[in-house]
Structure 1
């Protein structure tokens, strides 16, 4: 009965956890974002914008309404007048839904960082640049493969690359798996189970659960943002808690059924609590340009 009460209390606590962030489900959470990292940029001033496909004569939101006077009129005119095959500059001409950004970037060492954000950020776009000499360059079409994408643009070659999703999933796995192994491994010893006798089971169980967590939460995070990852986190962790409790009470070597169950519940609740706070840092880390 004590084990059942502990399990019920753990499930109830995990189920109430989303209430801590329910207020962020409105217009307070992270928005889509495109970060363009320009390498080998020219020494002089230049402007960079995103080209979107659509009707430039439609009723568009003026994304530069408060800052047009801050830009060179001739360079700005080159952007405003650009239109080819239905593609036009989103920040300069406007978008149906607002998009934030600046035509000038911020220096970061030898690179220039350009950030475009908010709900008007496109999924498919091209990069257009205008130099101080009046030269206009346009890249190939790019598809934003994550909620907040980082795109690398080489000014000299015109090559455009995007961070690999394989690398993103691998980083996501490492950022959750390593802390989980440390937390649950320490708890295994504190509950006085033999690590040597249970090492194979311990690693196998955590490997399977971390792969599942990475696949589900990583996909939710990369496609829809951190709030969607939080949405899936609680039910997924509850399923893992139940599954690991069944496995550990049956196959963990040493001590009584109650202690094996107590370890499974405690380890999962502690690691789940740590994972809850790590999600935000994982999302922030994936959004950084490096």
Structure 2
């Protein structure tokens, strides 16, 4: 591949820097809100109601429909449930608003129940009012991720949850693999031999991606994407400086200035791509 002329390389770096200095902004209220998704396996064929049991004040009525439109027998069971301080959050209320509905959405052979917004609890139980008006209550569950998935087997009452370790691994792969592709392409664009520089290229990028996942990734899993973006810039500045120094010392061709300019350009491109990739993490 032909090597770009020095003026072209400097122009690309300046063009990318412009977008870093003048980033897009968004209102904080537009950010994502916490969510609990309950996936019911082996659901009954007839209508049942599902709510989250919480231990907190009943300040907000969270039902999305007029109470007269519900099955009154099932609704009465939820409205009267209060055991050791646990009560249904949608039906009886929460301290701050929570969105959701008592009926789920069918998807393939499971039912999906989604609870969201700022009132989503950290600790909760699942209560189901069966088609024949009996109640099923799960053990207490602790939400340790911003977007939390719970699998409930209707036949056995067994609860399984998504492991946070798996989420970290998925997030690392989601950001690391595209980074290697983007920065590898830029390495060739700057005229470096991938074969001669493969070892430092892989080591530096994998280590900095581990740093990114351990800091920004952890914040996203715990507090959501908006919180993750608050620390993304300072973490990326550290990564920029570390990679510019490391690549200027460890790459095997051209001057240190060209190596550092490569590191800056490659990081800026992967940073811009990473902003969008983190939305899927």
After TM superposition, is the score higher than 0.5? yes
1:166 CA displacement: 0.9
Match of residue 27, structure 2, among 24, 27, 36: 24
Alignment of 1:61-140 (within 5 A): 61-64=60-63, 66-140=65-139
2:64–2:101 CA contact under 8 A, matched in 1: no
> Which residue pairs with 2:50 in the alignment?
48
1:184–1:267 CA contact under 8 A, matched in 2: yes
Distance 2:19 2:237 in 1: 10
Distance 2:52 2:208 in 1: 40
1:103-135 Cα distance to aligned partner (Å, 9 max, x none): 000000000000011111111000000012111
Does residue 231 (structure 1) correspond to residue 233 (structure 2)? The answer is no
1:10–1:265 CA contact under 8 A, matched in 2: no
> Which residue pairs with 1:288 in the alignment?
none
CA shift in 2, pair 1:65/1:107, >3 Å: closer
1:197 CA displacement: 1.3
> What SS does the corresponding residue of 1:259 show, helix, strand or coil?
helix
1:145 CA displacement: 1.0
CA shift in 2, pair 1:8/1:186, >3 Å: closer
1:70 CA displacement: 2.4
Distance 2:47 2:65 in 1: 21
1:34–1:117 CA contact under 8 A, matched in 2: yes
More displaced 10-residue stretch of structure 1: 191-200 or 204-213: 191-200
> Which residue pairs with 2:219 in the alignment?
220
2:42–2:155 CA contact under 8 A, matched in 1: yes
Distance 2:68 2:266 in 1: 58
Structure 2: segments with no counterpart, 5+ residues:
1-6
> Which residue pairs with 1:170 in the alignment?
169
> Which residue pairs with 1:35 in the alignment?
37
1:149-182 Cα distance to aligned partner (Å, 9 max, x none): 1111111111111101111001100110000000
Does residue 184 (structure 1) correspond to residue 220 (structure 2)? The answer is no
TM-score (structure 1 length as normaliser): 0.89
1:63–1:91 CA contact under 8 A, matched in 2: yes
> Which residue pairs with 1:287 in the alignment?
none
CA shift in 2, pair 1:229/1:65, >3 Å: closer
Distance 2:64 2:188 in 1: 62
1:46 CA displacement: 0.3
TM-score (structure 2 length as normaliser): 0.92
> Which residue pairs with 2:209 in the alignment?
210
1:14–1:234 CA contact under 8 A, matched in 2: no
Alignment of 1:242-281 (within 5 A): 242-281=241-280
2:144–2:222 CA contact under 8 A, matched in 1: yes
> What SS does the corresponding residue of 1:85 show, helix, strand or coil?
coil
2:127–2:137 CA contact under 8 A, matched in 1: yes
